[in-house]
Structure 1
Amino acid sequence: MITERVVSTERLAVHVLEIPERTGAPVIFVHGNLSSSVFFRHTMVDLPDTYRPFAVDLRGFGDTEPKPVDATRGLRDFADDVAATIGALGLESAHLVGWSLGGGVVMQVLRDNPALVRTLTLINPVSPYGYGGTRGASGELTDAEGAGTGAGAANPDFVRLLRSGDRSADSPLSPRQIMLTFYVKPPFQPTDADLFVDSILSTRVGEDNYPGDTVPTDAWPGVAPGPRGVLNAMSPNHFRIDDLHTVDPKPPILWIRGTDDQIVSDTSMFDLAHLGQLGAVPDWPGAETHPPQPMVTQTRAVLDQYASAGGTYEEVAIADCGHSPHLEKPAEFMAALTTVLGKG
């Protein structure tokens, strides 16, 4: 049975889901942007009894203390919170599972605290070179200020509906419709859709959390990331892990993704460069200077380098699946997850 509690850490008060009667090796699930631990409830129950699952709410989401996000630290505010939670739970180390934004968070935990990580599982993770604004497998910046990334890339109508607590399906930009269109591959319908909408709506909206603040720039498309908030923390001029291969020890890594993901993709529907190429964002400068970010290609390049330096990873691509393999294809997801957990 899943229970919940608030864990006091040296950094903030963290809301945690757990199954307290389980006593096996700890597995910590870290959710993505615009979500919370609720998205892992079924996964926690499905996990074999030999493992002890936890799911945490990141700051500004769910019921964790909504402290501001210092975007100039990249994803380190979140990663340091997770590391502090591991300590507050009395754990020496844990298997870490991160989805989307959470994938970047657990990569940062591994980069900064490798001894804490038994195995690392990435579910459709944000690129190690941030979200938007880079090109090529090496993640070269398209603009030194990160123009077109961060909070300025958020659709203002979506932010307005999120702030108002809209639970309807009346607008294609409502939180419910965004979830049904992009979190999963249509026509998949999550059985807990209402709970998931509530989870999305738990997001703290504002310049210190989602989406963050912006600054004007002369570069296309006219807006650059500020120093505060979630989306700015994922901007490539704040978040970049190009040296994951240097960590020691190197735990086994599982990278699991849906092949039809529209959020983290080489042709992402949330990448302004790709939308510019499609004509949806005006005045796109062109593919020579602003090609779509090859997010999947970049993740593979970083993990290949990790393997070349003595680590191991496995890429599992699930067909007919969107951004949420743990929801859409739970049996295939769990088979892959339990395999990597057995290696740690």
Structure 2
Amino acid sequence: MKVTTQRLSQHVHTVDGRTDGEPVLFVHGNVSSGAFWRDSMAALPEGYRPLAVDLRGFGETDPAPVDATRGLRDYSDDVLELVDALGLDGVHLVGWSMGGGVVLQALRDRPAVVRSVTLVNPISPYGFGGTEGPDGRLTHPDGTGAGAGAANPDFVTRLQAGDLSEESPTSPRNVLRSSYVKDPARLTDEDFYVRSMLTTRVGEAHYPGDAATSGAWPGVAPGKTGVLNAIAPTHFRLDHLHEIHPRPPILWIRGADDLIVSDTSLFDLAHLGALGVVPGSPGTPAQPMVTQTRTVLERYGHYREVVLDDCGHSPHLEHPAEFQRLLADHVKDA
């Protein structure tokens, strides 16, 4: 269904016949859409109303530009306006990858409307790239190492071209197989998910955003528009999550073998420099993404961490039965 607010028109995935019950709102990650939640939505127990939004610039939602200087607030404000428009009372928020950052920002800004939060392999509360240490301190003041300049240009080109092939390691299909999941054999409908990835709007206002340069290694810094700049640590930081009231319970589910969000992420230029993949590294340490999340949640206090073995970046796709059980128990306890 389409929900039009003052901000934009948002596409929301629903399940036929499920119009009542406690609302559970699923928020997808980068280069995907709400379609990635299809099976998780259908598996919710009776008594819950499953909803999955396409964020701006993804799926069938309006391709409104992303002001990266607001961090993830363009997305989280859209989500909160959707909550208001639908009259959702005490919503359970579920966020995967970048969507985890979106729901945490929504929680930070309006905790009273949230009944529970489930984080699925979320980005660090200190963004993606350009930081070090558990406290998320900037490696350089300008956020060097983060932003749109860190995107693989061939992947961007293939995404924009709607590439459905498997001819290159950087095709969306092969990125899904190699990075979104640990074992692609577990994907029950690969074409469905690839087509969802290809709904991503490409450009300076969307993915990956406008590129900026830096005089420090590796030569890229966050710009001011688009997706990857919105998750740069100069724009997105959640230092004070523990100060909100009320503090609804948080369930943090993550795959033990995640290559994207990790203390040694293969998408972090600093870690790639340490491996020698990106030459010239001065020894910049990898961003400890998982450690940073744990540090923030330990201050928050009201959370539980569950690690799924033999699982990559997408527990809801790789171990659906276990994920669905954990989510159902969490929303019920909340």
Q: Please classify the TM superposition score into its range, dividing by the shorter chain length.
A: over 0.9
Match for residue 299 of structure 2 among 286, 300, 305? 305
For the 8 Å contact 2:23–2:89, the answer to whether it is kept is no
Q: Greater shift after overlay, 174-183 or 190-199?
A: 190-199
Q: Aligned match of 1:9 in 5, 10, 24? A: 5
Aligned counterparts, 1:151-300, within 5 A: 151-286=148-283, 290-300=284-294
Question: More deviation in 99-108 or 208-217?
Answer: 208-217
Q: Which residue of 2 aligns with 1:115?
A: 112
Secondary structure of the corresponding residue to residue 196 of structure 2: helix
Which residue pairs with 1:124 in the alignment? 121
Q: Distance in 2 between matches of 1:171 and 1:234?
A: 27
Instruction: Find 1:321's aligned residue among 297, 311, 323.
Output: 311
Task: Give the conservation status (yes or no) of the 8 Å contact 1:68–1:209.
Answer: yes
Classify the secondary structure of the residue corresponding to 2:221. strand
CA deviation profile, 1:264-323 (whole Å, cap 9, x unmatched): 00010100000000000011110xxx200000000000000001xxxx110000000000
Normalising by structure 1, what TM-score?
A: 0.95
Structure 2: any 5+ residue segments left out of the alignment? none
In the superposition, relative to structure 1, how do residues 140 and 57 fare at CA in structure 2: closer, same or farther (>3 Å)?
A: same
Secondary structure, in 3 states, of the residue corresponding to 2:26? strand
- 1:91 and 2:85 matched: no
SS of the residue aligned with 1:342? helix
Once the two structures are TM-superposed, the CA of residue 143 in structure 1 deviates from its matched residue by 0.9
* CA apart distance, 1:338: 1.3
Q: Which position in structure 2 is the counterpart of 1:335? A: 325
What is the deviation of 1:187? 4.3
Q: How much does 1:221 deviate?
A: 1.0
More off after superposition, 39-48 vs 11-20: 11-20
Shift of 1:116: 1.3
Select which of 60, 70, 73 maps to 2:70.
Answer: 73
Superposed CA offset, 1:61-114 (max 9, x none) = 000000000000000000000000111112133000000000000000000010
Contact kept, 8 Å, 2:186 with 2:317, in 1: the verdict is no
Per the TM alignment, residue 186 of structure 1 is displaced from its structure 2 partner at its CA by 2.5
Q: Write the letter of the residue equivalent to 2:25.
A: I
Q: What letter matches 2:104 in structure 1?
A: M
Amino acid at match of 1:158: F
Counterpart-to-counterpart distance in 2, 1:56 and 1:62: 9
CA displacement at 1:148 relative to structure 2: 1.3
Q: 1:10, 1:245 → 2: CA distance?
A: 31
Query: Which string of whole-angstrom CA distances, capped at 9 and with x for unpartnered residues, describes residues 245-273 of structure 1?
Result: 01100000000000000000001010000
Report deviation, 1:343.
Answer: 2.4
Q: C-alpha separation between the residues in 1 aligned to 2:222 and 2:134?
A: 22
CA distance in 2, matches of 1:251, 1:20: 29
Q: Distance in 1 between matches of 2:132 and 2:77?
A: 28
Cα deviation, residue 181, structure 1 = 0.4
Structure 1 residues 194-253: Cα deviation after superposition (integer angstroms, max 9, x where no partner):
011111110000000000001221111112111000000000010000100011000000
- Contact 1:32-1:100 within 8 A present in 2 as well: yes
Q: CA deviation at 1:20?
A: 4.8
Inter-partner Cα distance in structure 2 for 1:86 and 1:329: 29
Runs of 4+ in 1 over 6 A off after TM superposition: none
Output the amino acid matched with 1:219: A
Query: What is the rounded CA distance, in whole Å, between the counterparts of 1:223 and 1:98 in structure 2?
Result: 28
What is the CA-CA distance between 1:173 and the residue it aligns to? 0.4
- Partner Cα distance (2:59, 2:100) in 1: 18
Partner SS, residue 333 of structure 2: coil
Q: Structure 2: how far apart are the matches of 1:285 and 1:131?
A: 19
- CA distance in 2: counterparts of 1:44 and 1:222, whole angstroms: 42
Q: Is this contact kept in 2: 1:252–1:343, CA < 8 A?
A: no
Unpaired segments of 5 or more residues in structure 1? none
Matched length: 333
2:59 pairs with 1:62:
yes
Aligned to 1:29, the other structure's residue is in SS state: strand
TM-score where L is the length of structure 2: 0.98
Identical residues among aligned pairs (%): 62
